[in-house]
Structure 1
Amino acid sequence: MGIFVVSADKGAFLTRGESVRRLPEQTDFYLFAETKDDAKKLAAQYIGERIGHSSNIQSQAIFDTIEGWVQRASGSDFLSAIEGVVAETSAFIGSINIEGFAVISPEQSDDTLIVSLSEDNRKRTLIETLYNREKGAVEWGDDMRAFNVTGLSKAIQSLF
């Protein structure tokens, strides 16, 4: 498992289908994947089909592909904590499969964990707010419950 990052400047634009929006602040997208190619696929899923710097010229041009934006992230206790919990959870929840997960890390806001899930032909997405990045400590959710295997598993299972 590797951790990859896509960094987007304030004002960069994201698009998915016909929807286009500019980022209000510098934002890093951390993607957890086995290979860089897998990370590129997750980038398309979580970040949008294309990402590029916004400018008067480029905003009306074809968007850059995200391939050149995906880089391996440096080690982080915070990211490792998330990776460990999701890995344990995937073994704990049985018939529900974790298809991919990412952390969106805006400059001024709390980080957001996005987990893509499936069970049989049903697909769901879990979105949770993360807190307390210092030294790998992580709390998540509106009620600040502990970020642990049981808590995450319950949140995932409640979607099905």
Structure 2
Amino acid sequence: MTTGQVKKVIIDTDPGVDDAIAILMALRSPSLQVLGLTTVGGNVPLARATRNSLALLEYADRTDIPVARGAALPIRGQYGYAFPVHGASGLTRRLPNPSIGPIEQRAVDYLAEELGKHPGEIILAALGPLTNIANLTTRYPGALEQAAGLVVMGGA
């Protein structure tokens, strides 16, 4: 992949306000092609993360982008949802309920399939807990090696 090329990206997300801003910026970037969103429980429960992702795509008029549900729970322990920071909805303000739904395929299977179709071309941008990425490496050994890169928004 050369510097001037449009970069393919799949965003793994638990949309609170921070992820929402990152998603909207990625969707507007002329240098990125967002292929899909995968959701994970983290800032908010999985159902809310999925709903927020769908609502954001609808808000941005990008309902062509698939959303695949991922892990509801961490591999160990439990999530400490960030309601005090992001509000009950995760977005401080509630977007209208989306008229679209997630794809049937689960996040880990979607990631493996897309990475296999586009080896060396897709950057995974993990904005939330890394549970989906961990599950990908466990269920599909070697799949992550097909990514062009892994960008992690970590720390809290």
TM-score, normalised to structure 2, is 0.30
Q: Please state which structure has a larger fraction of its residues in helix.
A: 2
Q: Which has the higher strand share?
A: 1
Higher relative contact order (CA 8 A, sep 6+): 2
Return the TM-score normalized by structure 1.
0.29
Larger Rg: 1
